Structure formats: C-alpha cells, structure tokens
C-alpha cells in the first residue's frame, strides 16, 4: 500500500456531535486545521442541524440525516470554493452543530417592580415571574447574529438577554391588556399569549423562536396586599354594629372561663352602669327640662351606575330618582347589613316607591 493510499484512509472522517449536556446550543466540530476528507460521512441527528462555514461565510445548512460529503451533496460549498476537480483532496471548512430542540423551564422575573396604571388602584407597582421555552429556528441567523466564532455556545450566554427582553416588554403588555390587577389571576393564559406576541419578533431577529411563555404570578407590594386583605375582611364582616356586639358577647364568654378576669370585667361593667346612673341623676337635678331623643337619620344606600359605585344616598333622594326614572327596578343597590348587591325592586325599603311610578304609555 502506498503512502498516499494510507493517508487517504486516515483522512476519511465521520463528522458528528453527541451532546451529553443539557445546555449546549452550538458546538464547532474540531478537526486538525479544519480539514475534512472527500467522502467523509456527516451524521446529523434529530434536534440538530449542521452549518458549514467557509472563510466567514455560511456555505450550507444540513437537516437531520446521513450525508456523504461530495460535490453532489454539498453543491453550494463546491461553488463557493470553486473547485475544478471536485473533492479529490481534503478541504478546509468549519462545521457547527446547532441544537434545534426546545430548551424548557427557563426562568424570568422582575428584579424591580414594574409601574402600571390600574383602573381601580391607580398607579401601582407590580412584580411578576414565570417560565418560558425557546429554540433555534434559523441556525444561520443565530450564528451570524449571536454566536459568531464561539466554538461552544451554551444557554448561559443568552438567557440573561432573553430574560431582560421579556421583563422590558412586561410593562407595555400589562398596560395595553387593559386588565385590572384583580382580574389578572383569572387571565394569566391570555396575558401570556399577548406578551408572547409582543416579544416573538425580537426573538425572531436573533434566529430564535418563543413557543411558550407562562406567567405564574403577578403580585402587589406587601403594604397594598395588607390593605386589600383588610378591605376583604370588611366585606366579609358586613354590619360593624352587629359584629361589635358579637365580639363583646364572645369576650364575656371567654371571661366566664376565668373567674378573676370575669370579676374584673363585671366590676368595670357595674362601675360604668353606676356612673351612668349617677351622671343621669345629677343631670336631672341640674336641669328639669327633658332631653330630646336623637334626630332620626335616613337609611343610606349605595347605587351602581354604569358599573361604578355612587352614594351613599338617603331614602328621600332615592325615591326622587325612582320617580324621575333614573333608578329602575333592575338598578343594583346596597346598604349596610345586606349580604350582597340586589335589584332595587327587590329591596323592601324601595319596592313600595316603584308602585307610585306610572307604567309606560301604551303605543298609539
């Protein structure tokens, strides 16, 4: 066997890349002086593409499969190199294997609160976090725009930029969605799709695709959450007068289990009662004129007008509005002690007023 025949056999290659990591995006196939022998086998597995680069220019992109590198299978490369005699001698070319699989469970979140204008709370600071999935959709563009000559390019080198892109567009997406903070939890899926549509073009410019973006949580500042919890408690409690009486009775029941405390409370109660009696007697002795009772007050109602809460209004004002047609039987009203908003025609204090409203005129 001649020395040339021996060298020919030694130069026959199998060009492939087996990725044993979970974060490699691009790997450059290493070969001494980038020499690849004519007739070499190229193996591109599912989830990969092979990109040929010659003299800084992308010559060809191979999809998954097995190829024999010759003029029939790499015509673009042959034209670029301008070989007159085909691949009869080794050629120099860089081969980059680009992973096209999906890189899942990538985290994103706001390092600082995003200020939005909420229709119920006004200017509000929000924090949000979630996950996203990305993949390389255009290997040539990705190498030209992002990778360059990096021999091993991993997700760690780009996820920071992708995360910043998502967060920078979050404020615009939250504002343009028109959703109230209280409604966002029920619309995370729609909000995620809306945010994806805003960001996808920027990913596409890098040769990337954004198949999925999930919003897992949108949260208010702690002090606003505390105020919201207080507001919720007030709505659950309802009538504060009845609630105060209940808590007082509950406290007396607890005190009965502790004789010492019960005696103190009883003493305080008797003292207050006696003080009231003495004060009343002294007031009666000083002035024989009778004390008038408290001035009666009207029951106050809140009214829902065009989706907004108005009031409170007294019964006389509501009767006037019913007579003028501003308030109908279907208008929602609420007063202290009612468990929920109800139609005005179903409230006992107001239903009688609708009987004095004339019916609509019959058609001519």
Distance CA 202, CA 209 (A): 9
User: 130 in helix, strand or coil?
Assistant: strand
Domain end call among 43, 77, 99:
99
Output the pLDDT for position 137.
95
Cα separation values, 79 from 40, 52, 89, Å:
18, 13, 16
49-88 pLDDT, tens per residue?
A: 999 888 778 888 999 999 887 655 554 454 444 444 444 4
Instruction: Clarify whether residues 84 and 126 are in a common domain.
Output: no
Instruction: Clarify whether residues 143 and 208 are in a common domain.
Output: yes
Which pLDDT band, with edges at 50, 70 and 90, does 166 fall under? very high
CA 163, 24, 197, 51: dihedral to nearest 10 degrees?
140
| Average of per-residue pLDDT values in the chain | 78
The reply to whether 65 falls in a domain is yes
User: What is the β-pairing status of strands 14-15 and 41-44?
Assistant: parallel
Sign of dihedral through CA atoms 168, 171, 172, 173? Answer: positive
Domain end call among 99, 119, 141:
99
Peptide bond into 312 cis (omega under 30): yes
Instruction: Clarify whether residues 218 and 113 are in a common domain.
Output: yes
Task: Give backbone dihedrals phi and psi of 322, rounded to 5 degrees, phi first.
Answer: -70, -40
Instruction: Clarify whether residues 108 and 216 are in a common domain.
Output: yes
Instruction: Clarify whether residues 64 and 15 are in a common domain.
Output: yes
Return the number of other C-beta atoms located less than 10 Å from residue 116's C-beta: 21
Which pLDDT band, with edges at 50, 70 and 90, does 341 fall under? confident
Instruction: Clarify whether residues 76 and 153 are in a common domain.
Output: no
Range of the domain at 29: 3-99
Which segments of the chain are extended strands (E)? Answer: 14-15, 24-28, 35-36, 41-44, 48-54, 57-62, 65-68, 91-92, 94-99, 103-109, 114-118, 122-136, 152-154, 208-219, 301-305, 308-313, 332-334, 342-343
The closest of 211, 215, 170, 167 to 188, measured between CA atoms, is: 215
Distance CA 328, CA 70 (A): 85
Output the pLDDT for position 80.
47
Q: What is the pTM of this model?
A: 0.56
Which pLDDT band, with edges at 50, 70 and 90, does 352 fall under? confident
Distance CA 295, CA 77 (A): 99
The reply to whether 252 falls in a domain is no
Which pLDDT band, with edges at 50, 70 and 90, does 39 fall under? confident
Domain end call among 39, 65, 99:
99
Distance CA 107, CA 213 (A): 10
The reply to whether 13 falls in a domain is yes
Q: Which residue's entry shows tokens 């290997």?
A: 139
Instruction: Clarify whether residues 156 and 87 are in a common domain.
Output: no
- Residue 303 pLDDT exceeds 50: yes
User: What is the β-pairing status of strands 122-136 and 103-109?
Assistant: antiparallel
Q: Domain total for the chain?
A: 3
The reply to whether 204 falls in a domain is yes
Taking the chain, what is the end-to-end CA distance rounded to the nearest angstrom? Answer: 116
């Amino acid at each position: 066997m001649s020395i040339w025949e021996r060298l020919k056999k030694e130069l026959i290659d199998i060009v492939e890349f087996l990725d044993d990591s979970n974060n490699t995006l691009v790997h450059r196939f290493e070969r001494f002086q980038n020499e690849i022998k004519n007739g070499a086998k190229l193996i591109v597995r599912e989830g990969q593409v092979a990109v040929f680069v010659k003299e800084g220019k992308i010559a060809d992109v191979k999809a998954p499969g097995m190829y024999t590198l010759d003029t029939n299978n790499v015509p673009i490369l042959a034209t670029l190199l301008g070989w007159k005699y085909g691949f009869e001698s080794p050629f120099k070319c860089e081969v980059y294997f680009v992973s096209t699989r999906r890189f899942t469970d990538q985290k994103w979140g706001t390092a600082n609160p995003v200020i939005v204008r909420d229709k119920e709370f006004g200017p509000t600071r929000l924090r949000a976090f979630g996950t996203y999935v990305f993949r390389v959709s255009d290997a040539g563009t990705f190498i030209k725009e992002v990778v360059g000559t990096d021999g091993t390019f991993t997700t760690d080198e780009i996820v920071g930029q992708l995360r910043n892109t998502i967060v920078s567009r979050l404020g615009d997406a939250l504002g343009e969605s028109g959703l109230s903070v209280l409604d966002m939890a029920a619309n995370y899926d729609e909000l995620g799709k809306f945010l994806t549509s805003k960001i996808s073009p920027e990913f596409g410019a890098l040769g990337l695709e954004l198949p999925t973006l999930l919003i897992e949580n949108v949260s208010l500042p702690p002090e606003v959450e505390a105020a919201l919890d207080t507001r919720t408690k007030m709505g659950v409690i309802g009538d504060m007068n009845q609630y105060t009486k209940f808590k007082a009775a509950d406290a007396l029941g607890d005190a009965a289990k502790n004789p010492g405390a019960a005696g103190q409370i009883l003493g305080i109660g008797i003292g207050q009662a006696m003080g009231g009696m003495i004060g009343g007697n002294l007031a009666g002795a000083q002035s024989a004129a009778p004390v008038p009772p408290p001035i009666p007050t009207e029951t106050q109602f809140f009214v829902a007008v065009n989706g907004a809460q108005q009031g409170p209004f007294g019964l006389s004002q509501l009767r006037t509005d019913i007579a003028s047609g501003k308030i109908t039987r279907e208008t929602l009203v609420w007063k202290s002690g009612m468990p929920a908003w109800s139609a005005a025609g179903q409230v006992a204090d107001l239903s009688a007023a609708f009987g004095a409203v004339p019916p609509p005129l019959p058609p001519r």
